[in-house]
């Protein structure tokens, strides 16, 4: 039996006792020991975190909804603990609506050994719709480097160095999902596990129903304000991908993404995994 070599936190609002019970059952089946951390509501962001979202007068500096701010702030609270090193060298941060593989400990122990030594974060809760470069095989799964990081921050393994990088940037204009999908914002060395050992969205959100409104409905959209406002955005993304994937890996991923985009309307589904596997097998045969 593999021993757990990471700490685990479950982010959970005080009112959401049923969601906590769901996670207790899931993690008990996976033999994962965890600590509960109270989630944050968008109207009750702790003082230490308010500069990430509000100005000195308390006015929002973001177009995020209240629930999105609360979700982001909950993760920042956890990441501050990770950054201080009080939870160890690797920390599994989880939301409270997950379906978890029963062999999660084995997967994460193997992944930490197989991943590049410079990894900052391992994404665990969403399949990839775009091409990726396999880095290492761990049983029936692979540690990968993405050409486009998938959405969902439901679960991820992060190091103190990675947490410190993510906390350095100031005001947050994008949601947590969007920020984590753009690692060049924070210079985070990002990898993932495919197929993902954790699935997010097993339960309906309890935040959006009561915190869907924006603080300021007149503010411009996130994409216009954050992304289009940076003329170097496309260059920064390409430069990161070329460095992370290698030039050959980046070009191959671009080709696979184009092939999949052409084929998807014809076959009715994505074939990214099959195409990536085909090229991976071809490379092994040449070797």
Lowest-pLDDT choice from 51-55, 188-192, 220-224: 220-224
Report pTM.
Answer: 0.89
Say how far apart CA 168 and CA 186 lie, in whole Å.
Answer: 8
Say how far apart CA 11 and CA 104 lie, in whole Å.
Answer: 18
- At residue 278, the pLDDT reads 79
Count CA atoms closer than 13 A to 88's CA, side-chain side. Answer: 11
- At residue 219, the pLDDT reads 39
Q: Say yes or no to pLDDT of 32 above 80.
A: yes
What is the percent of the chain with per-residue pLDDT over 70, rounded to a whole number? 88
pLDDT digits (tens, 9 = 90+) for 41-88: 988 999 999 999 998 888 888 888 889 999 999 999 999 999 999 999
Lowest-pLDDT choice from 101-105, 235-239, 271-275: 271-275
Domains and CATH numbers, the chain: 7-219 (3.90.550)
Average of pLDDT values for 128-150?
Answer: 94
Q: Say yes or no to pLDDT of 283 above 90.
A: no
């Amino acid at each position: 039996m593999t021993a757990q070599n990471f700490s685990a936190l479950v982010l959970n609002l005080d009112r959401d006792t049923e969601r906590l019970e769901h996670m207790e059952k899931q993690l008990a089946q996976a033999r994962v020991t965890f600590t509960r951390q109270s989630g944050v509501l968008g109207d009750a962001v702790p003082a230490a975190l308010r500069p990430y979202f509000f100005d000195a007068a308390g006015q929002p500096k973001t177009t995020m909804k209240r629930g999105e701010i609360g979700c982001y702030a909950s993760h920042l609270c956890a990441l501050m603990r990770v950054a201080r090193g009080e939870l160890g060298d690797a920390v599994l941060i989880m939301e409270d609506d997950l379906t978890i593989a029963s062999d999660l400990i084995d997967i994460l122990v193997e992944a930490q050994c197989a991943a590049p030594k410079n990894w900052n974060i391992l994404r665990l809760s969403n399949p990839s719709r775009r091409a990726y470069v396999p880095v290492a095989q761990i049983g029936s799964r692979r540690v990968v480097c993405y050409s486009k990081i998938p959405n969902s921050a439901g679960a991820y393994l992060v190091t103190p160095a990675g947490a410190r990088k993510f906390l350095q940037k100031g005001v947050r204009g994008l949601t947590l999902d969007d920020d984590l999908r753009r690692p060049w914002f924070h210079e985070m060395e990002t990898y993932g596990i495919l197929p993902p050992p954790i699935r997010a969205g097993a339960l309906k959100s309890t935040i959006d129903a009561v915190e869907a409104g924006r603080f300021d409905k007149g503010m411009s959209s996130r994409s216009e304000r954050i992304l289009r406002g940076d003329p170097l955005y496309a260059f920064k993304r390409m430069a990161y991908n070329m460095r992370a994937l290698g030039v050959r890996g980046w070009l191959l991923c671009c080709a696979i993404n184009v092939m999949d985009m052409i084929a998807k309307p014809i076959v009715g589904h994505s074939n990214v995994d099959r195409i990536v596997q085909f090229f991976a097998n071809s490379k092994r045969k040449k070797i």
